[in-house]
Chain A
């Protein structure tokens, strides 16, 4: 059993366990073993990155990675790795490492760190489970685990405000989980295991169970839409910004909204298949929902005066690019949507790191406090600028690549109205981002800027620089092999191969 090949084939399990065991160790080490905790955290993050690297290489070589554990007759726990898995695991593993570094610096000398980092690792473990899940049942297990693991992070500060938000977060996410579960069990009641197979497995049911399939699709999307922050299920996301900055980064870029969006991708491509989704006319529903979310999120972002709240509404808008690309379903739109999974992650984590730096270093929370901060914190503000321009979709930044492919894909799919959505979103993005940049770079220094001595320490600054520069890099180097774009093109090639 424990042959070399077996161990290699079980890589998805090791990737999962690397964070799960880290979580366990961190919990057991307790509050006072600071150094041990940091070592475990960083070692696990690096180890995971290595494992993910090996696994990615294997997937590229066409190796199979599969771990199966029977749970009930006809119901297996399946972990596997395909190209789509690698997209998400690579993103999460990379960002986990930088977020860990950032969080260690951010939480220095604050209480309850063991609890924080324990749940933090558990969160990433759930994300890995979501990414490597081989069927809906397995996906659901980790999807719910993610809810449970993020709640303690959202309420970490323990203030009454945080508690109220935590309650709201649970109402949304557990409610979404129930809806998702209903969809999955219904599928099981129709005798379908919900395995993730490129092109979907349900086409043969369409003639007989058309209504049921539509209902199931809507249930699945409804359940996933909560975490993916599809309007009107997005309410928790802007409120959840009361959490500490690293948690916001985790929610917005690495784990939670991505889990929802990733689930939508799996359901559309690997459970239903694009042709069945189109046959049921659900692609139009999904595209309209995503488009509305894109515009709505941007419009709401304009009105926010709190920096993190504005960023949160921006996430609501931007994450739906992924759903939009998936809904359009043409190969180019798929590329645009999937690549945005990575691009949005890099850009948004940069923006949240910057917001955290402003808050930690200068006490800046509100937008009008940003005046002149660019002169005191040039590096942070430069990274913020990269993130903001990327979000607007300025070439050659990451966001541009996504939008370009989405636009082309919309034409390819015969839905030119989507171009208007993209255009509108770009204009709105500019309306809510450019004034920030103007304030930071060009206005007279405000109170908070004057009181600021300089950049934060390396623990906060270096992760910000890393992610900011990567956000720049994935755009400029998009044409190179192993860039997110080429990887996504590889995935799409597989999805549309037969």
Chain B
């Protein structure tokens, strides 16, 4: 009975998106809001069902694989669905304020966001490689027009870049999938695991193509350059969704494939080391770039480039505590990054600009948004008490247990570099300025919904520092040996 929740969690948001498109209604569109509420409720029910019953399976329309489409919910998928639901619901509240009075943009936002939500859930629940491809494309195709909502010339070129890169990534991925289908005659994740040859160059090439495609989509260094303009240029709620959820989806797939059919090729020492090294490079380079950005939203966007690197550190570690650490990092980063983007968006909304050096004295008019920014930054820096700290602890501990000192050093230095870009912002905010921050136009204070949604997400990133046990119980054991 409860396995019906799987298709529902995909189709309810999708249908709601279509309904909004047909009915309109602006920022406070009742259709959109009830769609959000309904999607949230179903997601939570699904998470609870996985929590109480373990993994759930559903064959769409009763057709079993290899013919039909199978949906599969395990702890990992449940956590991602939970993240999407919680972040999505709070970002939706923010959007109500952000898009108030702009009903055309609001309608597009609700339509695309609900489609995105459904596609994300479908991606998390997909149990075969081809559906993964389809859902990944859906996610990208919903995300790119969201960037365009900013309506600026820069956002057009940013989304064009995003589109080209994303298509390139998909192409690589699809090539890998084709090779695997040729070898195994199936696309079902479980069946592939049983049939895939243990070695040989076709397996290697297929893995390389799939991984490269996903790395491009996840904006891992050196494929990261498309992300900052796209995430930094989009309207705040969109930036939050992209950074917290959309790029996470591609990284999620890497973990999912490691946990599933590709554990063997992905565990080859040099592959694991390479992925880890890319992660380390992302952490260091992304953080250094973040320190240099003149605009606040670009600081936050480069921070995403850096933070995604932590998840890749899982591959060379490949033990239970690293598995938990990487997944927990995904959750903590999602919540904290959404808070950062919303808070930064509020500053932009209020002042008309987000030039870091001109934010002096913004603490007075923007106290609560600045507070949200500061609180979420604690998690981004990996300082206690926060979700980011728990993730860092788990990664550090597994690295120390295995004597992988370069990972230890990367994680510790990454925290300090994050403090560098966070406190650069705080420093300007705390500087004495009797006139307050500079403004580009008459200030428009952010609405309470915008402020409180950011603040709630920020507080959640701290709360995650105390909820590791139930969440990691839900995640379950590390799936060693495939399947």
- A residues neighboring B (CB under 8 Å): 27, 30-31, 69-73, 75, 77, 112, 115, 140-141, 144-145, 148, 151-152, 155, 157-160, 163, 166-167, 170, 174-175, 177-178, 181-182, 185-186, 188-189
In angstroms, Cα B382 to Cα A182, docked, is: 13
Which residue of B has the minimal Cβ distance to A182?
Answer: B412
Check A141–B385 contact: CB distance below 8 A.
Answer: yes
Which residue of B has the minimal Cβ distance to A178?
Answer: B412
- 8 A/B residue pairs, CB under 8 Å, sorted by A: A27-B371, A72-B468, A148-B383, A155-B430, A174-B416, A178-B412, A185-B400, A189-B401
Q: In the complex, what residues of A have CB within 8 A of residue B468's CB?
A: 71-72
Q: In the complex, what residues of B have CB within 8 A of residue A73's CB?
A: 469
Shortest Cβ distance from residue A106 to the other chain B in the assembled complex, whole angstroms: 18
Check A71–B469 contact: CB distance below 8 A.
Answer: yes
In angstroms, Cα B381 to Cα A145, docked, is: 12
> Is the C-beta of B394 less than 8 angstroms from some C-beta in chain A?
yes
Contact residues of B between 383 and 437, Cβ < 8 Å to A: 383-385, 389-390, 393-394, 396-397, 400-401, 408, 412, 415-416, 419, 423, 426-427, 430-433
Check A141–B397 contact: CB distance below 8 A.
Answer: no
| 8 Å CB contact of B432 from A159, A167, A178, A182 | A159
| 8 Å CB contact of A163 from B383, B400, B430, B472 | B430
Prevailing SS type, chain B contact patch: helix
Q: In the complex, what residues of A have CB within 8 A of residue B416's CB?
A: 174-175, 178
In angstroms, Cα B397 to Cα A182, docked, is: 9
Which residue of A has the minimal Cβ distance to B401?
Answer: A189
Q: In the complex, what residues of B have CB within 8 A of residue A115's CB?
A: 363
- Interface Cβ pair total, 8 Å cutoff: 77
Give me 17 other A-B pairs in contact (C-beta within 8 A), A72-B472, A174-B415 excluded: A27-B371, A71-B390, A71-B465, A72-B393, A72-B469, A75-B393, A112-B363, A115-B363, A155-B430, A158-B361, A163-B430, A163-B431, A170-B419, A175-B416, A182-B396, A182-B408, A185-B397
Shortest Cβ distance from residue B287 to the other chain A in the assembled complex, whole angstroms: 14
In angstroms, Cα B477 to Cα A73, docked, is: 13
Q: Which of A75, A152, A185 has the most CB of B within 10 A?
A: A185
> Is the C-beta of B210 less than 8 angstroms from some C-beta in chain A?
no
Closest 3 CB pairs of A and B: A158-B432, A189-B400, A141-B384
Q: In the complex, what residues of A have CB within 8 A of residue B466's CB?
A: 69, 71, 77
Which residue of A has the minimal Cβ distance to B377?
Answer: A148
Q: Which of B385, B416, B465, B466 has the most CB of A within 10 A?
A: B385
Q: In the complex, what residues of B have CB within 8 A of residue A75's CB?
A: 393
Q: In the complex, what residues of B have CB within 8 A of residue A177's CB?
A: 383
In angstroms, Cα B389 to Cα A144, docked, is: 11
> Is the C-beta of B166 less than 8 angstroms from some C-beta in chain A?
no
> Is the C-beta of B257 less than 8 angstroms from some C-beta in chain A?
no
Check A185–B383 contact: CB distance below 8 A.
Answer: no
> Is the C-beta of B311 less than 8 angstroms from some C-beta in chain A?
no
Check A170–B423 contact: CB distance below 8 A.
Answer: yes
Which residue of B has the minimal Cβ distance to A158?
Answer: B432
Which residue of A has the minimal Cβ distance to B383?
Answer: A144
In angstroms, Cα B341 to Cα A195, docked, is: 39
Q: In the complex, what residues of B have CB within 8 A of residue A160's CB?
A: 431
> Is the C-beta of B158 less than 8 angstroms from some C-beta in chain A?
no
Mark contacts of B356-370 with chain A using CB atoms, 8 A cut-off: 1 yes-contact digit, 0 otherwise: 000001011001000
> Is the C-beta of B378 less than 8 angstroms from some C-beta in chain A?
yes
In angstroms, Cα B405 to Cα A185, docked, is: 13
In angstroms, Cα B426 to Cα A152, docked, is: 9
Shortest Cβ distance from residue B202 to the other chain A in the assembled complex, whole angstroms: 40
Shortest Cβ distance from residue A166 to the other chain B in the assembled complex, whole angstroms: 7
Check A152–B384 contact: CB distance below 8 A.
Answer: no
In angstroms, Cα B416 to Cα A160, docked, is: 22
Q: In the complex, what residues of A have CB within 8 A of residue B469's CB?
A: 70-73
In angstroms, Cα B371 to Cα A141, docked, is: 20
Q: In the complex, what residues of B have CB within 8 A of residue A188's CB?
A: 393, 397, 400
Contact residues of B between 429 and 449, Cβ < 8 Å to A: 430-433
Q: A69-B466, A71-B466 are in contact. Are A155 and B397 (CB under 8 A)?
A: no
In angstroms, Cα B361 to Cα A159, docked, is: 12
Q: In the complex, what residues of B have CB within 8 A of residue A186's CB?
A: 400
Shortest Cβ distance from residue A157 to the other chain B in the assembled complex, whole angstroms: 7
Q: In the complex, what residues of B have CB within 8 A of residue A159's CB?
A: 432
In angstroms, Cα B383 to Cα A144, docked, is: 7
Q: In the complex, what residues of A have CB within 8 A of residue B412's CB?
A: 178, 181-182
Check A167–B397 contact: CB distance below 8 A.
Answer: no
Which residue of A has the minimal Cβ distance to B423?
Answer: A170
Check B400–A72 contact: CB distance below 8 A.
Answer: no
In angstroms, Cα B415 to Cα A112, docked, is: 29
Shortest Cβ distance from residue A68 to the other chain B in the assembled complex, whole angstroms: 13
Q: In the complex, what residues of B have CB within 8 A of residue A70's CB?
A: 469
Check B397–A189 contact: CB distance below 8 A.
Answer: yes
Q: In the complex, what residues of A have CB within 8 A of residue B383's CB?
A: 144, 148, 177
Shortest Cβ distance from residue B418 to the other chain A in the assembled complex, whole angstroms: 10
| 8 Å CB contact of A166 from B393, B394, B427 | B427
In angstroms, Cα B465 to Cα A61, docked, is: 35
Check A145–B384 contact: CB distance below 8 A.
Answer: yes
Q: In the complex, what residues of B have CB within 8 A of residue A166's CB?
A: 427, 430
In angstroms, Cα B393 to Cα A69, docked, is: 17
Contact residues of B between 445 and 482, Cβ < 8 Å to A: 465-466, 468-469, 472
Check A157–B432 contact: CB distance below 8 A.
Answer: yes
Which residue of B has the minimal Cβ distance to A185?
Answer: B396
Which residue of B has the minimal Cβ distance to A30?
Answer: B367
In angstroms, Cα B414 to Cα A178, docked, is: 10
In angstroms, Cα B424 to Cα A170, docked, is: 11
Check B472–A181 contact: CB distance below 8 A.
Answer: no
Which residue of A has the minimal Cβ distance to B419?
Answer: A174
Which residue of B has the minimal Cβ distance to A142?
Answer: B384
Q: In the complex, what residues of A have CB within 8 A of residue B430's CB?
A: 152, 155, 158, 163, 166
